[in-house]
Amino acid sequence: MGECIFCRIADGKIPAAKVYEDDSTISFLDIMPANKGHCLVVPKKHYETLLDIPDEDLKNLITVTKKVVKALSLSIGNGSYNLVMNNGKEAGQLVAHAHIHIIPRFKSDRLRIKWSHKKYTDKEMKDVQEKIKKFV
């Protein structure tokens, strides 16, 4: 995936403000942060979405995410944060390489993650529940 910007960062071909790196995962500051300290946690191998990541690599990705969250919280002095993972264009994924955003939150940051709430009828909820359960 020579054109993927995250693959190029992982390969050291593009500089990044790295905060963590191991054999399979890298974490660095987002160049367009929602708040100061906003980090990305990225598998070094190219996977497009969560569903493409093998379970072992996914375990490492979330373990590294937890390490970076702890380090970020200790370094900036707060424990509030959002974890965001956009999967697919319709979900807002801009780089087609799986990654987790760690966004530190502050009382006065005015950042809002907002969606409009929908309602189910009882029948709709039951139908959706049954459809999902068939594949779990």
Residues listed for the chain: 136
> 99 an active-site residue?
yes
The amino acid at 14: I
The amino acid at 117: H
Residue 46 · residue 58 · CB < 8 Å: no
> Containing domain of residue 126, as a range?
5-133
Q: What is the pTM of this model?
A: 0.91
Which tens digits make up the pLDDT trace of 40-90? 999 999 999 999 999 999 999 999 999 999 999 999 988 899 999 999 999
Number of structural domains found in the chain: 1
**d(C-alpha 47, C-alpha 44), whole Å:** 9
Report the CATH number at residue 12.
Answer: 3.30.428.10
The catalytic residue among 38, 97, 99, 101 is 99
Which tens digits make up the pLDDT trace of 107-122? 888 888 778 889 999 9
